[in-house]
Amino acid sequence: RPDQRRLGGMRGPRVFLRHREHRQPQRIGEDHEFVATIAAARQEIQMLLEITTDLGCSLSVQETFSLLASRLKNAIPHDSVVFYEIQDGLLVPKYAFGVEERALGVISAPISSQELDSGRVLVPETIAQQTRMRSTITVRLQGATQSIGCLGIYSAQSSASNPDHLRLLLAIAPKVGITIENAVRYNQAQSSSVTDELTGLPNARSLFAELSRQVQRAEDRRGTLAVFVVDLDGFKTVNDRFGHIE
């Protein structure tokens, strides 16, 4: 307790003397470091909250990756983001966003369960040979009921990744997994609604939607529109054999 001594012989209100402690420079430096740590943790929590909130509002795969890349840029330096499906021990790219996205979107790479569970930090040789990417963090993504693939964060800098970056990515991985799963399902539903399941060709709904767009375009430009119709002989037998649900 602080040393408190009453001034002797004085009447009236009690007056005490307090001995003020002199704080050492080392203690002051430790306090500043502690405050800086608290501020950094608060900033990190705010960033994670913003990422999860923004991702929850997205149903487009492209929009999801765009939001994720922009929000993560300050916390995890990177140049590209790739979503992979895992097939027979291979990372098979499905969506790529950022630098060299065309190359990263077609290059498959081997990976083991141990590497994936620990967060891969070395770029697979096949990717390193064909791109400028030199470091990566790869984490597994879990959907609502099962693993849906993994997320790769790539950088052209060889030492861009560190354990803190892996920790942050693991913290948002559950939300990213659910969001990507929903976006993929939404895109599949949109595609199936305008595509014939048997042939993969545009269906009648797609035809009328495109026709409406082209009519509107012709009206806006005050132009003309031609429709070319082809009737295939003998196609009824093909349709009767393959085009009906059994």
Q: pLDDT tens digits for 81-96? A: 898 988 888 889 988 8
Residue 171 confidence (pLDDT) above 80: yes
Helix (H, G, I), strand (E, B) or coil at 219: helix
Helix (H, G, I), strand (E, B) or coil at 165: helix
* pLDDT tens track for 96-137: 888 899 999 999 988 777 776 666 656 788 888 899 998 888
| DSSP per-residue string spanning 156-204 | SSTT---HHHHHHHHHHHHHHHHHHHHHHHHHHHHHHHTB-TTT-SB-H
* Predicted local distance difference test score (pLDDT) of residue 10: 47
H or E element in which residue 236 lies: helix 235-242
DSSP letter, residue 24 = P
Q: d(Cα 137, Cα 70) in Å, to the nearest integer?
A: 17
* pLDDT tens track for 132-152: 998 888 888 888 888 888 888
Tokens 């693939």: give the residue. Answer: 149
Percent of the chain predicted with pLDDT > 90: 6
pLDDT band at 7 (very low <50, low <70, confident <90, very high): very low
pLDDT band at 15 (very low <50, low <70, confident <90, very high): very low
Residue 11 confidence (pLDDT) above 80: no
Task: Enter the tokens of residue 1.
Answer: 């307790």
Which residue type sits at 166? L
Lowest mean pLDDT among 42-51, 100-109, 156-165, 225-234: 42-51
User: Higher pLDDT residue, 10 or 194?
Assistant: 194
